[in-house]
Amino acid sequence: MRAVVRVSGQVPIRRASQDVFAFVADGRNDPLWRGDIRHIEYITPEPVCRHSQYVERMEEWGVPMTAWYKVTEYEPNRLIAARSFRTSRPIMQMNIGIRRTVLQEKNYALFGYELDLIIDDSPLYRLIAPFLKYAAQQRLNHYLRQLQWRLDKENGR
């Protein structure tokens, strides 16, 4: 049986939604606003679309990890979602689901991010789940502030 830890957040960005989407849909920009990401490389030809695949190399709590993803949903200028199909984590196997959305509001783009950590349900999971959720939410909140700062700054605001 699988268990899911879900965290999510939104942030307004004073840019056009298509500019925000272009930035967040290209995973190679992730190291600029997600501090644990070291490198992202596409393993299928571009442009990115549904079924595209990429490799994400990261360092989580000081431990290197590699995850292979497949794009599961893609709507230009609005939505990109992906799910890992393999990770290098030796102790606790997990799959990771991400969903990034951009909506145009009157004077800004609203960027939303959902992160699902999909883990085998076990006594260990039940013990660490509250900590995992808290830590993942705090990290996501920090990343959203970093993204907002970077894109607003580039826009001269």
The SS3 of residue 77 is: coil
- Yes or no: domain 2-154 corresponds to CATH 3.30.530.20: yes
Least confident of 34-43, 90-99, 105-114: 90-99
pTM, two decimals, is 0.91
Domain boundaries, the chain: 2-154
Closest listed residue to residue 82, CA positions, set 106, 99, 67, 94: 99
Give percent of the chain above pLDDT 70: 96
Q: Given this model, what pLDDT does residue 37 score? A: 95
pLDDT at 91 over 60: no
pLDDT at 56 over 60: yes
C-alpha 114/C-alpha 7 separation (Å) is: 6
Q: Given this model, what pLDDT does residue 38 score? A: 95
Residues facing 117 on adjacent strands: 5, 96
